[in-house]
Each structure stands twice: as C-alpha cells, then as structure tokens.
C-alpha cells in the first residue's frame, strides 16, 4: 500500500458553499505512463479500491499505467462529515454532488501533470463518477469503464437509498444528527437493510456463501455487513447516499439521457452484473444503445451488485479483468 497523500483546494460547491476541501489519494507507477483514475465507491476506502475493480488479475498494471486512486467526498478519507475540520465538520458539512467530486479530481490530475486521462474507471458510485467525468470533461479522457453502475440513478435506486438513509437517521444512537459517539446500532441496522439489496435472490437460493467460505448466510451477513458497516461514520453514509441519489448526467442536456450519453466522446465499457437489483443490466443495455462508442459486457453472477466490486467468484473476477484488459489494449474500431 503506497502512502496516502492529500491535495488541498478551495472548492466552490454546487450548493453554493466554498469548502476548504481536500482529496485523499495515492498514485502507482510512472507519471510518464498513460494515466488511469480510479475513484472510491460507496463505503469503499482507498486501500480496497484497486481490488474493487480488478480482482486478482491486475488488468491495470502500474508497470504500464500511472494509476491515481482518489477518495470520494463523504467517503471518510477525502473531505467528509467525519474528516472535515470546523466550521464544516460533522452535521455542518455541506451537500456534495458528483460534479463537485469531478471538478476537484480534475484539479488533482492537473496538479499531477496529467492533461488527459487514458482511462477513468470505477465500480458503482465509481462508475457514476466515470460517466460524470466523461460528460463534464469530454476532452480529457479517452476511455471509461463503469462497472455495476449507471449514468443516471433510477427512481427505484433513489428510493432504496431513501430507505437505508431513513434507517440510520431514525436510529437511537444517530440521536437526530447530534451524536458524538459512533452510531453502532444505526449502522448495524443500515448494514442489514443494505445487505439484501447488495446481494441477490439467486445468491440465497444457490447458497453462494458456501463457496465464499462461510458456514451460513447469517454468518456472512453479520460479519460482512452488520460488522463492516459499524466501522463507518453515520453522517458519511448519508452524505454519500445523497451524492448517489442525485447522480444524473442528463441534467447537463435538459434531462435528455440519450443525448447526454451520445455526447460522450470517450469509449465506454459498460459492465453490469446480471443480478444487480438497483443498477439493472437492462438499463446498461439501453445506455450502450445511445453511446457513440459503447461496449456491453454483462457479468454472469449470483453475487448481485457486489460482483462488480470483485466479491464474486474467481472466474467472474477473471472475466472482469479480461474485459477491461481487452478494452484498454485496443481502440474501439479494432475491437469491433
């Protein structure tokens, strides 16, 4: 794990607030090589972000690329309710949207001497950032890879997020946003609600936890969901969810999503999971129809949404890696 660095900037947010913001990030490889940016996703930390897209195979080798891994606002490393000093700390942290993240990331890459990214790729909220980057800076990225993601957050996805937000916000230890100690009860409940969305009906039916080395679904759910979520700050969880809920590249094209997709200059590899309950593969199919240079590669899995983050089988992760490798290796025309 390389050292995590900090990039400071005065950022005028879309909500109107000027935030003394900072991005936490690390880089791998030689800055002279083609640059690849990878942002963190919902409840993803920098240390785990590489694996979240690439599994074991390392499709984006630091030997070939200059990799920039950057943290999402609200993600508990970059500016977040839990990390920002006063006067924007905790409940005082302003609303952040994808556009704010992308503007900050653009400044970061320029500070690193990168004028144009070779690729921008990400899982889930990371993929939504990829779409927003390609929309807001169309001349500054050649290829993007949204994995288990979408260019616009669907109404269904929005309402699922209302539910998990409501769970933690209603919790006893969230204390109506006045808490000063970790929100253990609320985050545990949040994790339990979230778990059934992140996985799939088929995951339970095929008893996929066995292959993953767990004695029961319950053991997996308690360790990986209830347990993991209690390590998060409750306000950060809400912060990221709000950013996600407002994800939508169509707002720059009068609400016309097809037009927004058609305006993307970058090549796009769209990789949905077949059993993802909120980033539906059917929506990805529609996206590819509108993209100028879109390629679809569906991950066949029972691991639902989190297959896109490398939680699926070795074979599934190899598939993700192989698809990304092929996508990066050749231009669109040669792959057709």
Binding site for a copy of itself (CB under 8 A): 154-156, 159-160, 162-164, 166-167, 169-172, 174-176, 185-186, 188-189, 192-196, 199-201, 203-205, 217, 221, 277-278, 280
Question: Which residue number, 143 or 152, has a Cβ lying nearer to a copy of itself?
Answer: 152
Minimum CB distance to a copy of itself, residue 218 (Å): 9
Question: Which residue number, 40 or 171, has a Cβ lying nearer to a copy of itself?
Answer: 171
Residue in the block written with tokens 């979408």: 150
Angle between helices 125-136 and 98-111 (to 10 degrees): 70
Under DSSP, the state recorded for 3 is P
Kind of pairing, strands 35-39 and 117-123?
parallel
Query: CB within 8 A of 218, min separation 6: which ones?
Result: none
Minimum CB distance to a copy of itself, residue 275 (Å): 11
Minimum CB distance to a copy of itself, residue 132 (Å): 22
Question: Which residue number, 185 or 296, has a Cβ lying nearer to a copy of itself?
Answer: 185
Question: Which residue number, 70 or 221, has a Cβ lying nearer to a copy of itself?
Answer: 221
Minimum CB distance to a copy of itself, residue 259 (Å): 19
- Please give the structure tokens belonging to residue 167: 């769970």
Q: What angle do CA 258, 43, 285 make, to 5 degrees?
A: 25
Minimum CB distance to a copy of itself, residue 123 (Å): 20
- Nearest Cα neighbor of 238 from 149, 154, 157, 163 is 163
Query: Using an 8 Å Cβ cutoff, are 102 and 133 in contact?
Result: yes
User: What whole-number distance in Å separates Cα of residue 331 and Cα of residue 267?
Assistant: 8
Q: What angle do CA 229, 104, 276 make, to 5 degrees?
A: 40
Exposure of 38 in the CB half-sphere (CA atoms within 13 A): 28
Question: Which residue number, 67 or 234, has a Cβ lying nearer to a copy of itself?
Answer: 234
Question: Which residue number, 164 or 266, has a Cβ lying nearer to a copy of itself?
Answer: 164
Minimum CB distance to a copy of itself, residue 202 (Å): 8
């Amino acid at each position: 794990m390389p050292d995590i660095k900090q990039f400071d900037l005065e950022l005028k947010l879309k909500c109107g607030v000027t935030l003394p913001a900072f991005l936490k990030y690390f880089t791998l490889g030689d800055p002279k090589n083609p640059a690849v940016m990878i942002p963190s996703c919902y409840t993803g930390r920098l240390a785990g972000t590489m694996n979240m897209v690439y599994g074991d195979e390392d499709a984006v080798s630091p030997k070939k690329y200059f990799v920039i891994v950057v943290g999402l606002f609200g993600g508990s490393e970059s500016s977040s309710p839990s990390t920002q000093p006063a006067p924007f700390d905790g409940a005082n942290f302003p609303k952040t949207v994808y556009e704010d993240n992308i503007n900050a990331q653009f400044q970061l890459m320029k500070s690193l001497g990168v004028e144009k990214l070779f690729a921008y790729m990400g899982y889930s909220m990371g993929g939504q950032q990829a779409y927003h980057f390609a929309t807001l800076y169309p001349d500054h990225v050649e290829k993007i890879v949204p994995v288990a993601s979408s260019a616009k957050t669907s109404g269904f996805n929005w309402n699922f997020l209302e539910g998990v937000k409501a769970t933690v916000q209603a919790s006893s230890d969230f204390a109506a946003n006045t808490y000063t100690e970790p929100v253990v009860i609320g985050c545990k409940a949040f994790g339990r609600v979230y778990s059934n969305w992140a996985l799939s009906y088929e995951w339970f039916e095929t008893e996929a936890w066995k292959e993953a080395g767990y004695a029961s679904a319950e053991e997996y759910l308690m360790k990986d969901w209830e347990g993991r979520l209690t390590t998060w700050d409750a306000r950060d969880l809400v912060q990221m969810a709000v950013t996600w809920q407002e994800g939508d590249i169509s707002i720059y094209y009068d609400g016309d999503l097809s037009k927004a997709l058609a305006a993307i200059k970058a090549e796009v590899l769209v990789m949905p999971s077949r059993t993802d309950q909120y980033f539906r593969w059917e929506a990805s199919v529609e996206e590819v129809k509108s993209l100028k240079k879109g390629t679809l590669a569906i991950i066949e899995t029972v691991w639902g949404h989190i297959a896109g983050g490398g939680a699926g089988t070795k074979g599934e992760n190899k598939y993700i890696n192989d698809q990304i490798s092929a996508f990066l290796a050749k231009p669109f025309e040669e792959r057709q």
